[in-house]
Copies of this chain bind each other. A is one copy, B any other.
């Protein structure tokens, strides 16, 4: 079970953004990072690994950006739109690219279908958080 929401509910000061929205985005980012890490390994185990190279590279970038964005947004006290804004934009962009590429392989590889879903959900959650915090 995720502790993002209970941690926000017990946070020692008021939040600038709804706890529902923020906890949902943090969960979507950590879930997407894990899915991308796992999908990289699954892709590497496929017989057509040569065709999966672009998917692997996007998953690696996506995991890194989601992990950093989850870290920064999990520390709401120091919120700064000049940092969080472009970071969420980068997260939206890589989740979009990675989700598109995973979807291309979804029919052949079930794990790419699952990862595409994780990327779509994260892209959407980051867009919503970005809209509310700008």
Residues in A lying within 8 Å of B, measured CB to CB = 1-4, 6-8, 10-13, 26-27, 30-35, 37-42, 44-46, 49-50, 53-54, 56-58, 60-61, 64-65, 67-72, 74-78, 80, 82-87, 89-90, 93-94, 97, 109-111, 113-115, 117-118
Given the complex of chains A and B, what is the CA–CA distance between A95 and B25 in angstroms?
Answer: 24
Q: How many copies does the complex hold?
A: 4
Query: In the bound complex, do residue B83 and residue A7 qualify as a contact, i.e. CB atoms below 8 Å apart?
Result: no
Given the complex of chains A and B, what is the CA–CA distance between A68 and B97 in angstroms?
Answer: 17
Q: Which residues of chain B have C-beta atoms less than 8 A from A34's C-beta?
A: 2-4, 7, 26, 30, 70, 74
Checking B26, B46, B56, B90 against A86 with a beta-carbon cut-off of 8 angstroms, the contacting residue is: B90
Checking B26, B50, B86 against A89 with a beta-carbon cut-off of 8 angstroms, the contacting residue is: B86
